[in-house]
Structure 1
């Protein structure tokens, strides 16, 4: 039946397709989004063939037939996909939470709604209707899957493949509706994961051109498309009961309980079709799901955690530049936030202000960094403007401000990206900052007064007396189909601070160059892609003293069962800890160590619902706690397993061991287990367990350390999402740890919570 409908649609639309392949038809009728193609609707739509494999191969004929149908009614864009499959039993599709089905069979499209080759919305759907959406940013070459639009989809597996229907309200997109006939670049796609994962497209893609958005074909029409006021009011209610107690001295204190009921309100208003205002009052900015566990046992720099909160994620790509100058997880507990974003005729503007009940500041250095947290309010502001002069040149400026009592940090930056040819890209950015740390900040850093402070690099950076700093970044890349070459240079002054961003290292300059060569297989080869990569870099501090010199190379190959193997070696000369921490000098104050490391990464997806990965590393590494060379072994297996369509197990374990002078220094184990039962595309129940176990050989340390540290965090979470903004969460979480003062893991925190929000679209 479905095949007959498809043939009927093809026959009825063939003439229109031949006459105007880039015109999106207007129909007054709205399709019923249920995964069933209705001939009386879709026969009038534009037909698009998805028949060209663009990855891992370059423009080969597709082994499967896929057709897309598209039209609009002035309010929404409607798309249907008819994906034929010679073996429907092999279709990979599972019930998952939104944005977690990227490894399944998928169909979808990319839309550059401004037709300026700077960014593209991505909408993908698996055969069961599970949605994935993101924004691809050409400036930063990143894809932000945290962006969530409100749109509708339905999927259905059939005897001949699967069918997906989609409705994307035009209010989800940013576009200029003052133009009568609108032109948008679009690419229609199918991902076909079997022995290989094929990216099948409606267009040809030249791999020598690193800008994929630039190559997307143009579609015009949408004459009556208007975005309207697009006002959304989203009231929220958060309730929780948190119990905490002090267990630092080995004798647990009594539990202290606190009950909270917090109403809040989010508002999103499209003031014009190009300008959006977001506001939030009394928001709950705590994230619902626990971060992935990370080890930091032999790391002197602060760990990075991504943003997951809706207010900051909306149009977050508007704030992006070549350096991370705006990292909104620095703002932890605001009472309010206001954000304005706009994109019109090549001009992009974004700005927000928010207060914070706390002040979290990252103090960077050249050998390490630290975070200072103060229980006092702060005001935060970020501004970003970018002009896309043409598809080859973009220029942007960024400004941020943080203020708390007599502490302040201000940053100003200008950046540019220029593509003189399809194969060449030049990026540059200049940064200037002014920072003033007040006495209360210094006292908090020292855990008392400066006179009683243990002097270290962070203290010296704060008390250096320099308030202005400069930095710049230059990068050039030449890319061909089979090879690319690149070089970069960056420099950051001792006093450069980007307290609204995530910049862990200053007082250095770094020169890098490298290259890559690629091989492409075909159906005769057991592999489909291979590459060899190498680079060399050298870093000095502001006084010209060597910090690090490194050369590395690796070889990677994609093979059967969606396998990927990557192995390499690196040789690095780097400085160790300072002998006298009261001096910032490197020469005659540090030792220069040689690190030689071999590593490998392997992954494969042998069948539907199975992923296995293994990360291995061994070699000599600097023991940062004792300023010497040790032998490190690192192993990280990852297994994701679906048991049926609804139940998923995710397991990730990290093992790290360091030996020095013939004896163990430490052994660290971290396990992250997530068990999820996905009832349907809207709701799930998830149990997360994160367990850390670190054992140290006290006799092989220069300073006193705990012989053992264990911790365990658990979270049970129920989620129901009608859409990304109409959600209900309920859960329980706790945390406990054990050190030398405790005989067993003892809980120090327990929380029961519930969160509800509902989106009214006016």
Structure 2
């Protein structure tokens, strides 16, 4: 298996908390053959949202985006297997004291049962897994020595289009750049980059737009920004490094000093990315978090983006208080200051969360708001101008040891959302949701879930402000949708155990849901299928298939359809040499749009008829990787995208 791809194997994980703060830990894992997986765990009171059926409370999953230098080996024995791990101090950040104590736990993932064993007994009924670690005491004479990594790069970009004879390519000029990482002290690391290369990064998987009022989120994948990324985490993602698209230069300082985690980031983006092509966007970002007591914390963040005469600044204070082992209260307050094209806007963001993370009973009460004019141009705000109140209760029943039904978790959610200005005038909620769902964990690692969603959505005048109706006489009248649409959805989920050769998962959602194309009810199908096939110890094939369609309830005609199949093939030639191929096909189409709920007349959007649209695209990526250690790498990559003719019988361009 490739590095970090051993989750389908039985494996042993070493959790090492070098700051002895019970909040963060390095993760070093190996499978029975010594293949490595590594990353970090940072517990900041993360709340799992977006799941279609409930999940058990448990430890925070490790972030595997970072790679560290360490050696490992493993061997099978007549009674099981043995692993040996050697971790150099150069790979770690740790305290500066002469005598130190570190947090330590060892976890074994048992694939045939889907269970975990830990060296130190741990309770689910706790807000923190790391706080239940053991202690490695009496460490003295620790020294990292010189920690310096240099990664030069050369990239060549070729663009072209079909010409009368073959293709017309513009090859441009090669770009030379690189990254440098320097361990200033045991606790602080400085990263610098000049025209960094991100060619080894896998392309983003396609996503569906389920609610057009919300922006899609794509996670960071670029190595320069991934290192120490946890230092910049904030509630509501006020720091989103993908806003820095193609930096000409960037500087980052991360670490922890005297119980305070620090993150400083400055970057200058490429001029060609600005609207004028002449101005350069400058980013300056500060994030600090201070430990309080056993598991509590308080933090602040400040972001500054300047582009010509425009600016965007956001100031934030947030914190989390933990008490009684299973209870926590979190808060956040922020304000944005934005000037764009001579227009100045200021607006607040606020949030409060109370949670209980018990073994058999858990709850979460959430209340937050984002002002209409809140702008975070260095962050990611999915949808501004809303207020949300959410009540979530979870109960879990545990079966007898050896029983077929190991766990049964039920969840009940009330979720209301207002337009911000309407809430301030004591108006009614725009969207109202009631969700019932359950999930069963079966012996051997199977999971089966089901849910029923009852939802009602209010008409959003802002979303349809540019819509009009074309009458038979050729005149236009305003588009005024029905005040409210009521929906009901049925949810089914299934996931298999992590077998040696195969594992998979399925999500199906059916029923009646909102047709945002025409603001009407529609019969829907949503399918998300994921499979992983491992034909040998060296080869791995991952496939996903996402499908979504909307059918008019008036006559059964198709309103819209989206389909994204994606396949990734990985082959581990040797432990240090790795090859990856990725292919993805995207299809999106919708019918001629009409006023479905009233007149059935055609719709006009932005002054143009909303005629049928069909688009296709094909993506391909190839990567060859030679990585004897995480600090020594050679990447050779190639990426291509072709846009297809709407006619499925025609070729791609």
Give yes or no for TM over 0.5. Answer: yes
CA contact (8 A) 2:507 2:529 kept: yes
* 2:558 paired residue among 633, 657, 664: 664
**SS at the partner of 2:452?**
strand
- 1:452-507 deviation per Cα after TM superposition (whole angstroms, max 9, x unaligned): xxxxxxxxxxxxx5511101110001232210122010011111111111112111
Deviation at 1:259, TM superposition (A): 4.0
- In structure 2, what is the equivalent of residue 302 of structure 1? 215
- In structure 1, what is the equivalent of residue 633 of structure 2? 727
- In structure 1, what is the equivalent of residue 599 of structure 2? none
Matches of 2:579 and 2:179 in 1, distance apart? 26
In structure 2, runs of 5+ residues without a counterpart are 47-59, 468-478, 595-601, 604-608
Matches of 1:707 and 1:271 in 2, distance apart? 55
- In structure 1, what is the equivalent of residue 362 of structure 2? 484
- In structure 1, what is the equivalent of residue 281 of structure 2? 378
Deviation at 1:374, TM superposition (A): 7.1
- Greater shift, 144-153 or 236-245, is seen at 236-245
- In structure 2, what is the equivalent of residue 213 of structure 1? 130
- In structure 2, what is the equivalent of residue 573 of structure 1? 456
User: How many correspondences in the alignment?
Assistant: 608
- In structure 2, what is the equivalent of residue 526 of structure 1? 404
Deviation at 1:140, TM superposition (A): 4.3
Matches of 2:454 and 2:231 in 1, distance apart? 38
Deviation at 1:533, TM superposition (A): 0.8
CA contact (8 A) 2:149 2:631 kept: no
CA contact (8 A) 1:287 1:308 kept: no
Matches of 1:189 and 1:632 in 2, distance apart? 42
CA contact (8 A) 2:200 2:623 kept: no
CA contact (8 A) 2:403 2:443 kept: no
Matches of 2:45 and 2:325 in 1, distance apart? 17
- 1:254-302 deviation per Cα after TM superposition (whole angstroms, max 9, x unaligned): 5232244222232222222122211112212455312222233764422
Change (3 A) 1:284 1:731: closer
- In structure 2, what is the equivalent of residue 426 of structure 1? 329
Deviation at 1:394, TM superposition (A): 0.7
Matches of 2:36 and 2:641 in 1, distance apart? 33
- In structure 1, what is the equivalent of residue 474 of structure 2? none
CA contact (8 A) 2:178 2:197 kept: no
Does residue 624 of the first structure (1) align with residue 516 of the second (2)? yes
- In structure 1, what is the equivalent of residue 185 of structure 2? 272
- In structure 1, what is the equivalent of residue 444 of structure 2? 561
Does residue 243 of the first structure (1) align with residue 154 of the second (2)? no
CA contact (8 A) 2:593 2:612 kept: no
Does residue 133 of the first structure (1) align with residue 38 of the second (2)? yes
Change (3 A) 1:393 1:607: closer
Deviation at 1:121, TM superposition (A): 1.1
CA contact (8 A) 1:428 1:473 kept: yes
Matches of 1:237 and 1:616 in 2, distance apart? 44
Does residue 228 of the first structure (1) align with residue 145 of the second (2)? yes
- In structure 2, what is the equivalent of residue 181 of structure 1? 99
In structure 1, runs of 5+ residues without a counterpart are 1-95, 362-371, 440-464, 748-762
- In structure 2, what is the equivalent of residue 682 of structure 1? 576
- 1:75-112 deviation per Cα after TM superposition (whole angstroms, max 9, x unaligned): xxxxxxxxxxxxxxxxxxxxx22112122110121111
- 1:129-164 deviation per Cα after TM superposition (whole angstroms, max 9, x unaligned): 221112111114353211221111122223332221
Deviation at 1:575, TM superposition (A): 2.5
Alignment of 1:499-648 (within 5 A): 499-541=377-419, 542-544=421-423, 545=427, 546-578=429-461, 581=465, 591-605=483-497, 607-648=499-540
Does residue 649 of the first structure (1) align with residue 541 of the second (2)? yes
Change (3 A) 1:576 1:689: farther
Does residue 281 of the first structure (1) align with residue 197 of the second (2)? no
In the superposition, the TM-score normalised over structure 2's length comes to: 0.88
CA contact (8 A) 2:541 2:569 kept: yes
Does residue 202 of the first structure (1) align with residue 93 of the second (2)? no
Deviation at 1:346, TM superposition (A): 0.9
* 2:237 paired residue among 284, 300, 324: 324
**SS at the partner of 2:242?**
helix
Matches of 1:180 and 1:577 in 2, distance apart? 62
In the superposition, the TM-score normalised over structure 1's length comes to: 0.76
Deviation at 1:649, TM superposition (A): 1.6
Alignment of 1:450-461 (within 5 A): none
Deviation at 1:741, TM superposition (A): 7.9
* 1:408 paired residue among 311, 336, 342: 311
CA contact (8 A) 1:690 1:712 kept: yes
Change (3 A) 1:254 1:620: same
Matches of 2:71 and 2:196 in 1, distance apart? 27
CA contact (8 A) 1:668 1:694 kept: yes
**SS at the partner of 1:209?**
coil
Deviation at 1:513, TM superposition (A): 1.1
Deviation at 1:342, TM superposition (A): 2.5
- In structure 2, what is the equivalent of residue 364 of structure 1? none
Matches of 1:374 and 1:573 in 2, distance apart? 45
Deviation at 1:386, TM superposition (A): 1.0
Deviation at 1:589, TM superposition (A): 7.4
Change (3 A) 1:256 1:658: same
Matches of 1:567 and 1:137 in 2, distance apart? 31
